[in-house]
Amino acid sequence: MSIINYASREIQFKIVYYGPALCGKTTNLGYIHQRISPQNRGDLVSLATAADRTLFFDFLPLNAVVIKGFVTKFQLYTVPGQVIYNATRQLVLRSVDGIVFVADSQWEKMEENVESFKNLEDNLAKQNMSLEDIPYVLQYNKRDLPNIAPVNYLEYVLNNRKKRVQSFEVVSSTGQNVFATLNAVSQTLLHKFSKQSDSNRGSAPGAQTPRQTQGVVA
């Protein structure tokens, strides 16, 4: 759930990168953090366990969207990939506004991808949330490797709900489509928030929402 700071006139949205171990969640956040101007972002914080870690940072986007006089700000989080840290996954998902599910494109990782996606659904359900209500996109990572499944197969196993979502072929190690993925989920959640705000309070003069052709982040 978005956090509204009336003192600073900011609305803060939380985006969580979810997926199996070693799928590229950390690489995504590291790439994004490196390429956002230092004056527009906070420190990249790592909460380490014995064998895994959670990363997060917040930032003011380059093309900051103003909604009813409030500037948008984003918090990006990763979840631990290993199942033994499921309690941490649940904690990170609290008050989430948008999700990027990062899948490992390698054939031998398909079972882990499916298990992680099911785990995401289960953890959301425990908090009375659902993918039907939360904006999310799919990221098919590691498309530069030789032993990868075709996109149509990944779509078949992961993007098979009644309402299909945007998906992206990504090479997070080089940054290919990393920002495209982030822009897509950012635009989707901002449109949802703006629409809900309009229906709850009525349209306000000067309200500004992102255009689909405009990158929210970069």
Q: Mind spelling out the 3-state secondary structure of 63-131? A: CCCEECCEEEEEEEEECCCCHHHHHHHHHHHCCCCEEEEEEECEHHHHHHHHHHHHHHHHHHHCCCCCC
* Domain positions in the chain: 3-201
Digit-coded pLDDT (tens) for 46-61: 976 655 668 888 887 7
Residue 30 tokens read as: 């590291």
User: What pLDDT score was predicted for residue 211?
Assistant: 43
Distance in angstroms (rounded) separating the CA atoms of residues 58 and 130: 24
At residue 103 the predicted structure's pLDDT band, cuts being 50, 70 and 90, is very high
User: What pLDDT score was predicted for residue 208?
Assistant: 47
Residue 20 tokens read as: 């199996």
CATH match of 3-201 with 3.40.50.150: no
Distance in angstroms (rounded) separating the CA atoms of residues 206 and 107: 49
Distance in angstroms (rounded) separating the CA atoms of residues 137 and 184: 7
What is the pLDDT averaged over residues 124-130? Answer: 97
